[in-house]
Every structure is written in C-alpha cells, then in structure tokens.
C-alpha cells in the first residue's frame, strides 16, 4: 500500500502536501503524526518541521472485489462477484458462473492456484494479513457434500470388513472435512499420516 511521508512548517501543511501527492482527500486516508514540529525560541533556535505519514484507508471488501474482478476481466470473464468478511482476517469470495469449470480444474487444483495468487496479491496491498477463500459456482459446498458422503461410505465398509482404508493424498481442508464427517461415528477412528502434499487419512475399525 502506498504511503507518503511529508514534512512542512506545521502538521496541517504537511498533511496538505501528502494529500496532494496521493490525489485524495482527508476522509480517505489515515494520518500518523511522526513529529509535531516546534516553532523554536523566538522563531529561530530549536525550530523543527512537522512530519506526518499518510496512507489511503484500506477497505478489504472493495479492494478484494476490484482485485478479483481485474483478474477475471483479464481472462475475458464477466461474472457476479460477492465478497464477504467471515472474520477479522478471513474473506470469502463467491464467483457465480456455471461456465467456469475450467477455473476449478481437476479436484479443484486450478481454483487452489487462483486462490493462492489472489492471496499473494491482496496481501501486497493490505496493511494486515488476510486469508482469502474463493468459491466458484458453489464448488466448495458440492465438494464438501461429496467428501462427506464418500467418508461415510468408506467408514461403513470398514465397519463391515474390520479392515482399514487409506485415502489418496488430500489437501488440508479436505482432510478436515473427512475427519469431521467421521468424528462421531461409533467404532471408527481417523488418523492423518505423512507430510503434505502426500499426507493421507487412515480410517480404522476400533472395537
């Protein structure tokens, strides 16, 4: 985020110089007074300029909307974008368009890469760290339902055969879905083994 440090004979003059350089108004910036300055003795001895730091106010919702829109526009995509602040640092971006399967990719790999790119870009602008989740055409909900059903089917099979089942490597968020889906199932235990990106879940029968 661009910030400007200016000095002048007083604080107000320093702020005016900073606003002029940024091309904005006082309502749209945050001002930090580094040094209030001093007029000195009889206006001569000990005289010191005032110093201020001025930077544009950061709105995570509008900034993220603009960022995602600019990336999509670069791919000739015109979709509806909705940004929601889920927590202090967690932002959810919903992109609604049923023609964006290519942006999701196999097992969500393309979407994960796009999400990583957006996280890097927005955190270069934000004065504090943001964590961005991107959902395209309700993919996250559909994927969660699919994994939950798969986990339950696997657990039922493990109960029936008393033999453990090892899932293929999963992303951290997908492993969490499986663990949650089976955490209250009787006689079933889930454990994660290995290191990312090869970390897997084992589903075992416990008598």
Tens-digit pLDDT profile for residues 123-143: 998 888 999 999 999 999 999
Which of 87, 68, 64 shows the shortest CA–CA distance to 77? Answer: 68
Backbone angles phi, psi at 100, to 5 degrees: -105, 30
Q: Please tell me the predicted confidence (pLDDT) of residue 78.
A: 86
Confidence of residue 44 (pLDDT cuts 50, 70, 90): low
Q: Please tell me the predicted confidence (pLDDT) of residue 45.
A: 67
Backbone angles phi, psi at 132, to 5 degrees: -110, 130
Strands 90-96 and 131-136: parallel
Q: Please tell me the predicted confidence (pLDDT) of residue 10.
A: 92
Contact 192, 200 (CB under 8 A): yes
CA within 13 Å, CB half, 170: 21
Q: State how far the alpha carbon of 167 is from the alpha carbons of 105, 124, 147, 161, 170, in Å.
A: 20, 37, 11, 16, 8
H-only helix segments in 42-171 = 60-74, 101-104, 109-125, 139-161
Partners of 125 in the β-ladder? none
Q: Please tell me the predicted confidence (pLDDT) of residue 39.
A: 77
Cis peptide bond prior to 197, omega within 30° of 0: yes
Burial class for 44, CB neighbours closer than 10 Å (0-12, 13-18, 19+): exposed
Confidence of residue 43 (pLDDT cuts 50, 70, 90): low
Distance CA 75, CA 72 (A): 5
Tens-digit pLDDT profile for residues 56-68: 888 899 999 999 9
Contact 159, 126 (CB under 8 A): no
Q: Over the Cα atoms of the chain, what is R_g?
A: 26
Q: Which domains are assigned to the chain?
A: 4-56 (no CATH), 60-137 (3.30.300.20), 141-205 (3.30.1370.50)
- The pTM of the full predicted model, rounded to 2 decimals, is 0.66
Q: Please tell me the predicted confidence (pLDDT) of residue 139.
A: 93
Average pLDDT over residues 34-58: 81
Average pLDDT, the chain: 91
Q: Please tell me the predicted confidence (pLDDT) of residue 83.
A: 96
């Amino acid at each position: 985020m661009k910030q400007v440090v200016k000095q002048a004979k007083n604080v107000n003059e320093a702020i005016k110089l900073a606003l002029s350089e940024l091309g904005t108004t006082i309502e749209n910036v945050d001002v930090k007074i580094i040094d209030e300055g001093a007029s000195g003795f009889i206006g001569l001895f000990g005289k010191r300029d005032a110093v201020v730091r001025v930077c544009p106010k950061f709105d995570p919702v509008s900034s993220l909307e603009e960022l995602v829109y600019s990336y999509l526009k670069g791919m000739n995509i015109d979709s509806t974008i909705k940004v929601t602040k889920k927590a202090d640092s967690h932002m959810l971006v919903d992109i609604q368009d049923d023609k964006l399967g290519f942006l999701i990719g196999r097992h969500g790999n393309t979407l994960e890469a796009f999400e990583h790119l957006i996280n890097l870009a927005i955190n270069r602008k934000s004065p504090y760290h943001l964590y961005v989740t991107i959902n395209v055409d309700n993919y996250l909900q559909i994927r969660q339902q699919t994994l939950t059903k798969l986990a339950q089917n696997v657990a039922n099979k493990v109960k029936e055969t008393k033999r453990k089942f090892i899932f293929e490597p999963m992303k951290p968020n997908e492993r969490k879905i499986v663990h949650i889906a089976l955490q209250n199932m009787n006689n079933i235990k889930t454990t994660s083994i290995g290191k990312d990106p090869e970390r897997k879940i084992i589903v075992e029968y416990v008598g």
